[in-house]
Amino acid sequence: MFLLQGTFRTILVVSAVLILAFVATGFASSAYHREKQLLGEEHYKEGQQLAARGETEAAAEEYRKALLFSPEETNYRLSLATALIDAGRLDEAQSHLEQLLQEDPTNGLINLLLARVALQRNQLKMAKDYYQRAVYEYWPASESTERRKARWELVNLLSRTGQRNAVIAELIQLYANAPGDQQQKAKIGFLLLDNGAVSEAAQVFRDLVKQAPQDTMAHFGLGQVYFSSGDFVSARHEFERAARLSPHDPRTEQALALTNDVIDLDPVLPSITATEQLRRSQNLLSRVIKDLQACPGFQHRLDAAQKLLATKPQSKEDLSLRLHQAAQSLWHDKGLFCGSKPVNDRTLDTVLSRMNQ
Amino acid sequence: MSRLFYGRRMLANSLAHVSISETQRFLLLALLIGIFSGLLVVLFHISIDVISWTSLGALAGRFHFARLLSPAAGAIIAVFVVRRIFPRAKGSGVNQTKIAIYSSEGHVSSSTIAGKFLACAISIGSGNSLGPEDPSLQMGAGVASLLGRVFRLPRNSMRLIAPVGAAAGIAAAFNTPISGVLFVMEEVLADWSATAVGSIVLAAVSAVVTMRAFLGNEPLFQIPSFELNHVSELMIYAGVGIAGGVLSALFMWLVERLKEQIHELPQWRHYALPAAAGFLTGVTGLWFPEVMGAGYDAVNSALHGEFVWQVLLYLALAKLLVTLLSFTAGTPGGMFAPALFVGAMLGGGLGGLAHRVWPQASSTAEAYMLVGMGAFFAGVFRAPITSIFMVFELSASYVIILPVMIANTTAYLLSRNLHPTPFFTMLAELEGVNLPSAEEKRNFQPLRVEDAMHRVSAAVQKEPGLHLFPDEPLDAALRLLASQHRIQVISRLEPHEVLGTLTLDDVHQAYGIATQEVLEG
């Protein structure tokens, strides 16, 4: 009965008090939130300055204070996590990042940071998962470079763990989404080449040569592609172009010299005479014998090879074939006697590898 | 003027014709209590933060000694406010609310609200190791009592309305409506009547909604994801429960001993002891600033792995010590927040140690913090259901339920064994007040009809008149025996089957035996 027994005035007074209380609390709370936000921003800015100076521990402390005032600010927590990663406090960083991930599981940056934490902890499988999410989840349009950065980090991780096919797949994606940056495209091309994707690398460098015919790197890369595929003449052609564009580039000079040596030594080069083929085959075998001289237990085979070298030719073609077959066989078995001896004669190695293909 | 008068009359008439039941009116008032309590808790929270920013933030930034002296100064001012301006605001909020319910028909004076608000905001804001939940509970009860008086509630309703406000106050302070309701049910009322539950739930929900409308939806703690690594991990959680139970019993024992000693001291103790406790808090705060104030920020930081397990254990002990000093010295403020802090750090410390020794099978320290929180809370306040739901509400994780149930029940049983008197009952006894203990009420086994009746050996014909069932309370039988000197007891399953008979003598004899047993016990 009390609500109705209470006079109309009581209800009116209580309603008025309630409205007043709401207004007063509203004013107080908005002032309170404003002040909290200001204090949070102050600490956040201080943290950013400290982080820029490389004082990560102090920066983390400031970010933590900022977060006390504005716990809902994702940026503060992200900055704190980044500072903690830089300071090597991975447990804390992970905890903050996991909380952020709970709130926003499709955020690319959070996944990227978690991948970095996992990588620092050598949890490679977890790092790969987070990197993949970082690459394929959401990034704001303004941060598209961050997605590429994440993909590059993923490529590095995949290379480290020897997952060549996955590396090639990511590199192709990187190339497909690469901006007009020639250097980055060339980097992709070289990595494709290193991972055995010769035709994909050839495509990259051909595109680059087409887009920028005066680009040394493009010609050099294309030369490397030809060299890898055993087309030494085309490789020499591209290296010469690169050398003309950058005359004193030591890398190009070395590649050109090697290619010239290979061409001079190659006994199966098309359009050479039978006499030239025999000379090259003899040269090839004698270089193999010289290279393997120091290996123990090889002597009887090297002696047989010396005998073959001294043989008078009845048919130049036949002898040439026997000579370079002997050279190939010795080179093939060198691991048995010489162990993992490093290759001294790169020209010889290139020619014989090419002949074995 | 006449138009306005006419309008008022119309409204009054239409209100008079609105037909709503007593229960509905009570629920409406509960809603109002929840909103007012929520607003009050928002202002209380803001006041604590503003005082804290000034005394421990801006001031401490300029003067290094401010951090050292702030708690002592705050304690002196808070005690002055309570002793000189608002003397009714002294004492534990839970116990004062219980006193209001059981001995002054739910009356909590308005000066109590003002006194609690002012004194506790100053003491907690200035860095004393106490929490805002217990004062919020009493302020909520005060708001309810005030509204009850404004609406001229009848005496029996006034007694019911105070717990409604208490639930609203504590729910808003913790930002956990279920726990707020359960705590009041478990500790303050020990009663689960439908009207009480309905209005308490409504008040708690409206208070939390109001609080969230102004302070945002951020939970009390930013909880990282929780998972149970291995079933054997439950043993570690039981270990956390054991540690929580032992430490909570030790804490209560220390509070009891210190309070007894302090009572012997002369009058100067009222100011000197809070000042000394505040100063020691300030000194501790030089090394462990996390122990100052309620400590929720530190728990949040710890939940994100800021501290190694050794530091967590140091923090638990440091907080336990400064809270013990501040609380026993009589500095205004509550015990809930410090209890959660100590429990969290203890659980985290032990969990961190377990993770170091047994990394494959155990989770990181953070997972144990929540469980430790619940275990220590259950051990001190003897509210096991509240403690379980509180952790559940805070973590929003079903996975945590099992570890929490194991740890909290272990802590609760162990603490009850080591220190049988519950915390609030102990405080009441120390203050010379005899309050019904909710825990004792729960454990009390009332005599039933079957305990007193004479069983019949052969089949007996059912007589007309009143009958009883064997499981009915003996008190109910007494009322019936006023009109009928012998009552037959019948089976619930076979209503024609007479199981026994009951007379007034049987009842007296049963009560006599019960009394004798209690005396012997």
Does A206 lie in the same domain as A283?
no
| Whether A20 contacts chain B with CB within 8 A | no
Nearest Cα to Cα of residue B392 among B177, B130, B199, B188? B177
Residues 6+ apart with CB under 8 A from B121: B44, B47, B48, B51
Distance CA A44, CA A59 (A): 9
- Residue A313 DSSP code: P
At A50 the pLDDT is 94
pLDDT per residue as tens digits for the range B193-212: 666 788 899 999 999 999 99
User: Which residue in the block uniquely carries the two structure tokens 């050109």?
Assistant: A256
| C-alpha distance across the termini of chain B, in Å | 74
Q: Are B36 and A4 within 8 A, CB to CB?
A: no
At B13 the pLDDT is 60
A322 is a domain residue: yes
Does A279 lie in the same domain as A250?
no
Q: Are A10 and B42 within 8 A, CB to CB?
A: no
Domain edge (last residue) among A213, A244, A264: A264
- Residue B224 DSSP code: P
For residue A322, name the pLDDT band (cuts at 50, 70, 90). Answer: confident
Domain edge (last residue) among A264, A286, A312: A264
A300 is a domain residue: yes
- Residue B54 DSSP code: I
Average pLDDT over residues B251-271: 88
Of A24, A32, A102, the CB nearest to B225: A102
Does A272 lie in the same domain as A236?
no
Structural domains in chain B plus CATH codes = 20-215 (1.10.3080.10), 233-439 (1.10.3080.10), 449-520 (3.10.580.10)
Does A259 lie in the same domain as A271?
no
Query: How many residues in chain A?
Result: 357
pLDDT(B446) > 90: no
A8 is a domain residue: no
Paired tokens of A301: 């085979």
Paired tokens of B202: 């409504």
Residue A304: which domain range?
Answer: 266-357
Does A297 lie in the same domain as A257?
no
pLDDT per residue as tens digits for the range A151-170: 899 999 998 888 888 889 88
**Number of domains within chain A:** 2
pLDDT(B1) > 50: no
Q: Are B364 and A21 within 8 A, CB to CB?
A: no
Of A3, A21, A25, the CB nearest to B25: A3
| Whether A103 contacts chain B with CB within 8 A | no
Does A259 lie in the same domain as A168?
yes
Does A260 lie in the same domain as A167?
yes
Instruction: Look at the alpha carbons of A150, A151, A154, A160 in this order and tell me if their dihedral is positive or negative.
Output: negative
A128 is a domain residue: no
A318 is a domain residue: yes
Which ranges of A180-315 would DSSP assign to H, the alpha helix? 182-194, 198-211, 216-228, 232-245, 250-265, 274-292, 299-310
pLDDT per residue as tens digits for the range B59-116: 555 666 778 889 999 999 999 999 999 988 888 888 888 888 887 778 888 899 999 9
Assess contact for B166 and B144: CB atoms under 8 A. yes
| Whether B227 contacts chain A with CB within 8 A | no
A226 is a domain residue: yes
Distance CA B425, CA B443 (A): 14
Does A277 lie in the same domain as A258?
no
User: Which residue in the block uniquely carries the two structure tokens 């977890």?
Assistant: A126
Min Cα–Cα distance to chain A from B348, Å:
14
Q: Which 3-state string (H, E, C) describes B160-202?
A: HHHHHHHHHHHHHHHCCHHHHHHHHHHHHHCCCCHHHHHHHHH
Does A281 lie in the same domain as A232?
no
Q: Which of B117, B225, B304 to mutate to test the interface with A (most CBs of A within 10 A)?
A: B304
Mean pLDDT rounded to a whole number for chain B: 85
A137 is a domain residue: no
A174 is a domain residue: yes
For residue B430, name the pLDDT band (cuts at 50, 70, 90). Answer: confident
pLDDT per residue as tens digits for the range A171-226: 888 888 777 778 888 889 999 988 888 888 998 899 888 888 888 888 999 998 99
Following DSSP, what letter does each residue of A53-77 receive, concatenated? TT-HHHHHHHHHHHHHH-TT-HHHH
Residue B467, SS3 per DSSP = strand
Domain edge (last residue) among A214, A243, A264: A264
pLDDT(B518) > 70: no
Distance CA A283, CA A285 (A): 6
Distance CA B115, CA B113 (A): 6
Residue B131, SS3 per DSSP = strand
Number of residue pairs across A and B with CB atoms under 8 Å?
A: 91
Q: Are A5 and B152 within 8 A, CB to CB?
A: yes
Neighbour tally for B178: CB within 10 Å: 19
Does A209 lie in the same domain as A199?
yes
pLDDT(A114) > 60: yes
Distance CA B81, CA B78 (A): 5
| Whether A70 contacts chain B with CB within 8 A | no
Burial classification of residue A98, based on how many CB atoms lie within 10 Å of its CB (0-12 exposed, 13-18 middle, 19 or more buried): middle
Specify the CATH number for the domain of residue A255. 1.25.40.10
Does A288 lie in the same domain as A214?
no
Residue A311, SS3 per DSSP = coil
Write the ipTM. 0.78
Does A315 lie in the same domain as A237?
no
